[in-house]
Amino acid sequence: MPADGSPGAEQLIRLQQTVGNAAVSDILNVQRQRHRSRRGSVQLIGVTVLWRASNVFVQQGPTCSAASVVAELAIRDNDRADPQHHLIGRAMASVAAYANAHRAQMLPALERFIIDGSNRRGERLEDQVIRQGAAHLLTSRVLDPLAGTGGPVGDRAAALATLSQALFYAFLRPDGQPPSTAEVGRMLQAIGLPQPTGGAVDNIRFSRFDEIFSNSLTVTLPPGAAVRTTWWVRRRDNAHVRHVFTVGRRRSSGSYYLYDQGVGYGRESADLADLRAAVMADIRNGDYWLATFQVTPEFDGEANLIPASPP
């Protein structure tokens, strides 16, 4: 550490690269399943592979709480067919404005996030390092990447990755934990997607795999709406963790889709039952990581409505 007590560049870089990721870095390692065999391509009539991953969005790191919301924004951007992606540009500018207005509240959550990461590694950081590390995260992950955004988007994939990362850090809970279901409404508002009305019908819990496709929100979805779904996935080390992805309906065609931004996986069908069959076939063939059973009774699946956007 320099004589003035500030953390050196090497220490800050290490914080940026490793904080909070040591215990979960392999949970959503996108490379593991993006390059897996597609031998399970489903031959059911009317079932197609959803957009190629590069045309939708693949998250980087364990950020599914925020990345699932950004994935839905990306899908709606696809349906709009806007070559300059104004929907994404406006979302980036909105999150930048939110972060600038709430930086005083964000810094304590980022500090807690750093402390938790260092505790998992068995390290103890000085208070000044924690404070400056939090300020560095806020600047490098949220404010600087979003500076000057709001207009046409050039590199769509890079913009979505930047937005997802910024949204994750901007909406950390006060205890430093990743954004939870309670933050979904505020995240939707921040990126310009409609918020649920807040009624019980907009958020339900379930305990069986089949309910991913048969819960009351999903079976009654109007075109253009989606359900942010939480369920279990199996990592390559056979450990099971909770993960968030999207089940929805295309506005343009009314077809149903499941898109998982964690591994760039997607399936689409005009029929919800065929969609389920396609996903099941991929799971059986080892081409998709979704678990078919509830791993721990204490944690139910969740379905959270994302209403359709205005035309």
The tens digit of pLDDT for each residue in 120-147 reads 888 888 889 999 999 999 999 999 999 8
Calpha distance 27→29 (Å, rounded): 6
Q: How confident is the model at residue 217 (pLDDT cuts 50, 70, 90)?
A: very high
Residues with Cβ within 8 Å of residue 14, at least 6 apart in sequence: none
- pLDDT of residue 23 exceeding 80: no
- pLDDT of residue 149 exceeding 50: yes
- pLDDT of residue 33 exceeding 60: no
Q: What is the mean pLDDT of residues 284-298?
A: 84
More confident residue, 44 or 82: 82
Q: What is the mean pLDDT of residues 268-291?
A: 91
Give the CA angle between residues 7, 148, 245 to the nearest 5°.
80
- pLDDT of residue 29 exceeding 60: no
Question: What's the pLDDT at 121?
Answer: 86
Which is nearest to 279 in space by CA: 260, 298, 261?
260
Calpha distance 215→139 (Å, rounded): 41
pTM for the full model?
0.78
Q: Which residue has the tokens 């402390």?
A: 115
Q: How confident is the model at residue 48 (pLDDT cuts 50, 70, 90)?
A: low
Which is nearest to 255 in space by CA: 64, 22, 106, 79?
79
Question: What's the pLDDT at 254?
Answer: 92
Round the average pLDDT of the chain to a whole number and report it: 79
Lowest mean pLDDT among 55-59, 137-141, 143-147, 219-223: 55-59
Q: What is the mean pLDDT of residues 159-177?
A: 89
The tens digit of pLDDT for each residue in 72-115 reads 998 888 888 777 888 888 999 999 999 999 999 999 999 999 99
Give the CA angle between residues 251, 253, 258 to the nearest 5°.
75
